[in-house]
Structure 1
Amino acid sequence: MPQSSAKPILRFAPSPNGRLHLGHAYSALYTWNAAKLLGGTTLLRIEDTDPERSKPEFVAAIFEDLQWLGLQWPEPVLQQSERFDIYADAGNDLRDQHLLYPCFCSRSEIAAKATDKDPDGAPLYPGTCKHLNRGEQIERLERGDPVQFRLDTASAMARVGMLTFTVLGPLVTDRPQIRHARPERWGDVVLQRKGTPTSYHLSCVVDDSEQGITHVTRGRDMEAATDLHVLLQMLLGLRSPIYHFHKLILDDAGRKLAKSRDSESLGDLRAKGWTAADVRRAVGL
């Protein structure tokens, strides 16, 4: 259930795996504006759990870009790479509930056997390793085979029953509404990997709870993932915030801006002479 708070707390949580673009600028500005409307504050969080893609120079660039936009936030800034032990404890909690199992499948093996897709369009895991006996699991773990740990979503859903969460309408000041969550459409998602004891989903819900986040503003592309987050919150006994989904900034082809497509960065725009006011006008804020 959403937690009451004398002061609403929101957060902007970028990953330092590239430079911020106009889509990030919109999300950041929207979140800070929402906090102002709600009489609250916005925290900055750095979601740098991917050691291969997260770079210190991108962390520095995030600070630079947000300051250029005229945004401020409380210190210190939480960096997820410094909290792996905390996420590992959350994973251990799920293990103790017998809700995680080891998976040794490669992406190509999953793609070859999958008959459906998850809400992001990726091959839906067919549950191959879910049926390995304990002896084979131990043998492969001791052998050092590449492994990831998946949530047994069906068992988790059977344990918690029907799930709901609270959503605000088109405006953050709208009357809250109750929505039903359907995490089963994600199948058995990966929550931990060998050498990395967390995933975006796991660290996100742990930190939202620990930081006392009362409202999460996120793009509409994250609506489906929220269903999974609500399930993890219930399983781990964590706080559940109120959610609000904002529009996405699209390119000329109608696709959302993305680092993977080398969308023009805020740094590039600044070098071309753009001001923070130009950015606000471009995104409609």
Structure 2
Amino acid sequence: MLGTGTSSTDLTAAGLPRAGGASTLAGRTVSRIGFGAMQLERLQGDRRTALALVRRAVELGVDHIDTADFYGNGFVNEVIREAIRPGDGVLVVTKVGGAPNPDGPIPVRPAQRPEELRASVEDNLRGLGLDRLPIVNLRRLDMGPGLIAEGDQAVGLDDQLAVLTALRDEGKIGAIGLSNVTFSMLRRALPAGIVCVQNAYNLLTRGDDDMLVACVAEGIAWVPFFPLGSTFAELPSVADEPAVRAVARSLGRTPAQVGLAWLLRRSPNVLLIPGTADAGHLAENVAAASITFDADTLAMLNAVPSRSADVPLR
């Protein structure tokens, strides 16, 4: 049975390594490499493999997992609930702003209205078997990549923060994060006590560098989604970038590992949640933390031009 994510279990004391070293998330020390659970939905026909993958992540030192009720129409949360044990000390981070849409052309639909956010929190609580969600990220849909909110789904940020703050006061969530937001939105939300920001960010998509710096100053974790790009066909792939491939060859590593290692060295508040449905790729993702770059190599990677990640879907 899944714990609340507030256990004081220390990985080092338990003999487990910190995947990628240590940083903080909502005031708690966590490994810098976590696990993005979305791709577990690919394993809906093989629950045993999905469970084993989550257990393997814990064995490798992963102690924070990113999930949502709309991942696999609840399947992913069910797997996490079954795989994670209270003594593991794993911090589970959930997301609201979308809802399952299993019969639609896209398996998720916008759910931005305050009453929908509350319903999503309740759905995540039930799916994970928790009394309180440690961290809930509000996924805004003002811009790509992904869905764009229209009509009655174009909801003001203040109204959304009001319901999440109320849920925190009720004890149903522990802390509030933001996802897919602009710098001005982050500034407006700071009084609500934001603990993390999830934006599309990688070596090829660095338009939010100023926000990243501000998060360092505010003690806010920066958790990039699409850390390697390429989730949408229109997005550039970090692994296909010639400079990244050249560095990978010189180090005897994969291009994906180089892209993840670059993110870890971008800023000390960066936490990674790379996702995979493959145990081998999971191990490679964690091993990316051991990569070091000399000054010339890092300068070559930093010189790669940044591009837009605004790929909207309606």
TM-score over 0.5 (shorter chain): no
The structure whose Rg is larger is 1
TM-score (norm 1): 0.30
Which structure exhibits the higher relative contact order, with contacts defined as CA atoms closer than 8 Å and separated by 6 or more residues?
1
TM-score (norm 2): 0.28
